[in-house]
Amino acid sequence: MADSQHQSIPTHPIAPRVKEHQKKPHVGPDILGYRDHHGKTFGEGSNEWWAPIVSPTDRPRDSTGIVRSRLFVLVASRMETSSGSPKVASTPHTTALTDGLIPTPIRFAFLPSYYPSVDQRFSFGDHGVGQCRQSQRPEPLYTIPPPLHSTTFCHEITNFNRPQSSTKPMNRAKAAKSPPLSFSANYGIKKGDTVSVYMPMTWHAVATFLACARIGAIHSVVFAGFSSESLRDRIKDCKSRVLITSDESRRGGKAIATKAIVDAALKECPEVEHVLVQRRTGNTVAWTEGRDKWWHEETLKVPNYCPPEVMSSEDPLFILYTSGSTGKPKGVVHTTAGYLLGAALTVKYVFDVHPEDKFACMADVGWITGHTYIVYGPLLNGVTTTVFESTPVYPTPSRYWQVVEKHQITHFYTAPTAIRLLRRLGEHHTQAHDLSTVRVLGSVGEPINPEAWDWYNEHVGKRQCAIVDTWWQTETGSIMITPFPGAIETKPGSATVPFFGIEPVILDPVSGEVLEGNSVEGILCIRNPWPSIARTVWKDNNRYLDTYMRPYPGFFYTGDGAARDEHGYIWIKGRVDDVINVSGHRLSTAEIESALILHRGVAETAVIGVSDDLTGQTVYAFVTLKPEFTYNPNDEGSLAKELILQVRKVIGPFAAPKKIIIVPDLPKTRSGKIMRRIMRKISAGEGDQLGDLSTLADPSVVDAIKAKVATSP
């Protein structure tokens, strides 16, 4: 039965380049124990791990044909849905060691759960680890050798001199005697304090993450495309006293006035006492004596060795702000052990990394993808990571492929938007470069359309690579649904199957009931907690519960719709809440609406996402004006520009609406609720399929909107 089901899956050839590598030793953390769906146990060592996965007939499926895999590394206990945060049991002590600015051994130890309601299935006592007691100081279970760590930096055009960092092995005994890092000592930052970071894509950003982790400071990285107002709100929310930034940044050939944005933000943040400034372009920037300090001067003053802070597994590692259904962004909190475990394991198994590999994730460090797959994941596995500054098309659409060729990249991870853009610009760019080192191609951030998938496979992968379409979120910390390279057959457009230990469920949107079996569609939720689940919203646990735990009690709510097809494969259908996904960037309609309403002329506004061939979705803003506001109706263009500027100023350039549509009125129900559905339909060119309009207070607005959309530039 299982066999015939398996046969009927339309398969893509298992990537030959990945296959060659599978027998070679892996790097990174060893799995402590693994039991597959049939209860068969596998011991330490990653080679054995492949056995059940690689053999197609053995692949675990449950009675309905759903593919399941389970990894027993951490012990997950119960998820408390209304009274508290989910509890994921992990190590009482995790020590992250990172030497100075470049990381050296990172050691973890994971213990079985000490929570009472441990499910037997999650025990890994078979391998001796279960004998550890909470009170014992655990022996590190694995150590990542220091020489493997390195970072590749791809700077934009101007070849920036890479500062020398000491690669000499440290005399630890001697080093331990030196005074603690003065960054921490002078700035008074201690374990548990927050440090805000607003930096471009240079190695300094990676060093900043690791330096914070080293001293137990909680970093809050703000994507450098956010405006000063957004930065200000995020600094204020987590009350940082220290901010790390740069003089300027470069993007697509333009200089960006990073420090000036910071200065504007800090006008309203008197609590920030120290600003550490990395010199990126060297252009003159405004300076606040006493507060601002140059990175290159300050780092000369500190000793080479800084003793690591000992952290508990549940101590926060970082905060990352993300948008949701409401106007105010949430500070999602990730922890030391759980998050890092998720980062390490997913890089290891989703990307099948081996020694000497060179990992290139093209995201920005300011988003979760950069946190997990530029910084922590690859470095935890001891593989080289790449910091790419620039855009895929600057100075030419060959930029990515030049990087792949020059740095012999083995893993390339990007968003469908970039793939669609490069596909449009022609194959000759990929043909001009040697891409033969690449084995695994990753896609993340939005659903990938089959045309883009095929192009990626054909022109970048040359049909030799595995493509992993990875679904996850800021809140999940690491990849949740994904194929395993060379082991799970792929279907272009499907994120395929859950990662080990992840239990996705599809719920009926109305009843909230679990839709069992295959060929179902509904709301995507997750049944049990996993190591890297976000633990809370910074200083607002109730909001965390409201957002993720209460919509469908008993489950973690993702905000995505999904289908499970006849083979048990999962297809992500996009957001079901008021979140828009533009180029893999998550935008909240409520946030954009709040930005627009601040304009003196705006009375009301409704923001919607409209599908776009290139960026996945794009932002349309419908606006009504205050009666007393006067403007030239023959020049709506300049008012639209003003409003776009308003959004750029309040949120950041990446959130700018593509269209501003000024309308006499918004479609509303008699009770005053804005009917976004009508604007969505009209904008999608489906104005003739509006359905039931009987609840509309004033049906004549529909024609006015249709006319405006039709003529809007």
Q: What is the DSSP letter of 371?
A: I
- Binding of residue 591 to ligand WT7 (CB under 6 A): no
Interface stretch with ligand WT7, choices 81-89, 278-286, 424-432, 571-579 (CB under 6 A): 571-579
> x/- binding map, residues 318-337, to ligand WT7, per CB under 6 A?
----x---------------
In sequence order, the 6+-apart residues with CB closer than 8 A to the CB of 218 are 192, 193, 194, 195, 212, 238, 316, 317, 318, 319
- Binding of residue 569 to ligand WT7 (CB under 6 A): no
Interface stretch with ligand WT7, choices 183-191, 278-286, 342-350, 573-581 (CB under 6 A): 573-581
- Which of residues 229, 248, 292, 446 is near ligand WT7 by CB under 6 A? 446
- Which of residues 127, 251, 586, 668 is near ligand WT7 by CB under 6 A? 586
Task: Say which amino acid occupies 374.
Answer: I
- Binding of residue 575 to ligand WT7 (CB under 6 A): yes
Phi/psi for 543 (5° steps) reads: -65, -35
How far is 685 from 219, CA to CA, in rounded Å? 45
Identify residues 355-384 at the interface with ligand WT7 (CB under 6 A). Answer: 368-369
> What's the min distance (Å) between Cβ of 488 and ligand WT7?
14
Task: Say which amino acid occupies 524.
Answer: L
Residue 273 and residue 231 in contact, taking contact as beta carbons nearer than 8 Å: no
Residue closest to 158 by CA, chosen among 103, 207, 200: 200
165: left (phi over 0), alpha (psi -120 to 50) or beta: beta
Residue 457 and residue 424 in contact, taking contact as beta carbons nearer than 8 Å: no
> x/- binding map, residues 464-503, to ligand WT7, per CB under 6 A?
-----xxxxxx--------------------x--------
Residue 241 and residue 385 in contact, taking contact as beta carbons nearer than 8 Å: no
Strands (E), 352-501: 358-361, 384-388, 411-414, 440-444, 466-470
Residue closest to 266 by CA, chosen among 294, 295, 234: 234
CA distances from 657 to 91, 197, 710 (A): 45, 26, 17
Residue 298 or 503 with smaller CB distance to ligand WT7: 503
- Binding of residue 444 to ligand WT7 (CB under 6 A): yes
Interface stretch with ligand WT7, choices 136-144, 192-200, 531-539, 567-575 (CB under 6 A): 567-575
Identify residues 527-566 at the interface with ligand WT7 (CB under 6 A). Answer: 558-560
> What's the min distance (Å) between Cβ of 416 and ligand WT7?
8
Residue 256 or 468 with smaller CB distance to ligand WT7: 468
Q: What is the DSSP letter of 30?
A: P
- Which of residues 258, 581, 615, 683 is near ligand WT7 by CB under 6 A? 581
> What's the min distance (Å) between Cβ of 637 and ligand WT7?
32
How far is 551 from 536, CA to CA, in rounded Å? 16
Interface stretch with ligand WT7, choices 148-156, 339-347, 438-446, 604-612 (CB under 6 A): 438-446
> What's the min distance (Å) between Cβ of 543 and ligand WT7?
16
Residue closest to 88 by CA, chosen among 273, 280, 335, 305: 335
> What's the min distance (Å) between Cβ of 470 and ligand WT7?
5
- Binding of residue 417 to ligand WT7 (CB under 6 A): no
Q: Which residues bind ligand WT7 (CB under 6 A)?
A: 322, 368-369, 444-447, 469-474, 495, 558-560, 572, 574-575, 581, 584, 586
